[in-house]
Structure 1
């Protein structure tokens, strides 16, 4: 399985097709295997929470107005899911979430056209202002730029009060000049590093992060398992344990549908419980990965499945997972 950061923007596919194209698609799977929204979701009044939820991983975009997402367009075509390459705005998020009320959001940059992340940041912030969203942003950089250009782009993004840190999805290698420049800058300014890696590259990233022990790290997409096979699950478990022991990282419980192709509680349970076991309740957080996760099922099914997995936990544990941890790491 290819590591997402090992591919180039020019390929227009951020992750290998095998990872983005799980074996069970809603559209192509037999009826017995398709992921459907559970019919009882709206009847259960799921959001009887005593705290305000933070969604630690969302994307907003207008592909109608902004040609910033060629990789998304390519992926939607390969998956034969054209709805992935369509506008996703705050109203769409609210419709998807239904009765599950979210108070605050961490928006993660998803642009792939060259340096359009600067334009995206301005667009997202204007959108958040108009919609009165409690929203912070995770930006990005182009790792092929010179060090001075990278720093200039970081400084420009950091002028915003909503800016909280950086994630880089493409061509970002742990031993590179770009990685060290970004990590040093984040260290000096007390911003967040959203780490994108898969198990085969975890050890290399941990060696690099040891040089920056004060950088706040958030591990994206539950460590991004390479696949659901037995050997890959073992490698994932080893990588997660190492990350939990050797960093201060917060682990996002997000993005698993890209690997499992299934948002049922049975499919998600081993990954969710495995992450909580090694990171503990004070270092895991909820992220919907909306709207990308719709390749595997609906937002409502993801929430229902999480409730089935963690719903019997204590109020303190659930508050940490759905709210407090993200607020602490992202300073919301």
Structure 2
């Protein structure tokens, strides 16, 4: 009996060894968190370029605008090689206004592992005209969870002009879609940006003061579930014992990848010097940190968290001063 109890215990221990102490998204996606973030930022950069191209291609009576729009549309041409200075002044002013637009990304990666083991072993000792049964039952439930949360804020000008080729390869190719773990591939930034710009231009978003904002909450949840339920039976022989047993292993891994994306539009005009700097090929564009647009995009993220996350929490909610300062 001691021998089989030892085997049972060893099996349970081996199965539980696979339970990660601190589950992180990289264990299942095989893509590091910095790479996930860089892909999303680069997808945003490419989406900005695409919107600029679409705007210029609408100027059907302007040959220069059409030519420059096609250059922007052709992703084989690095952005730093495209000279937009020949455009008409009104077109340049419109495109340059993009430079101070801001975008904030708020990432939350939650990984949860559930390990349940139910085991039983029933030795039956035969003697004389009867038998004795010694049932042994064990149960172990374990759960591990890890939450990573961080925030990134950029301006469109920084993404277009100051992003290095090492960070965003230029010519740029967006990551393909990943239907198992979508956060590691293209997440549809282009559509979010297109909706934001359309609402800003045509409806003004109804903003009474400060730059108008647009927020998207994107959540991807992937759950893997496995179950093992083997049974061990040793047939009786003369003058021996009969033993039976088994164990059930339930393993579940759930990963929730969430990103809140908030765009904020320009609130002040660009100076002629800033416009010239923005359009000079290869020249870095200096954007001061903490602009009204950046603060507006961060505030939009905070409002989204209060509205959709904290608003759905049960029981009391504690809000720290840093969050209140955004209102």
TM-score by length of 2: 0.26
Larger proportion of strand:
2
Point out the structure with max Rg over C-alpha. 2
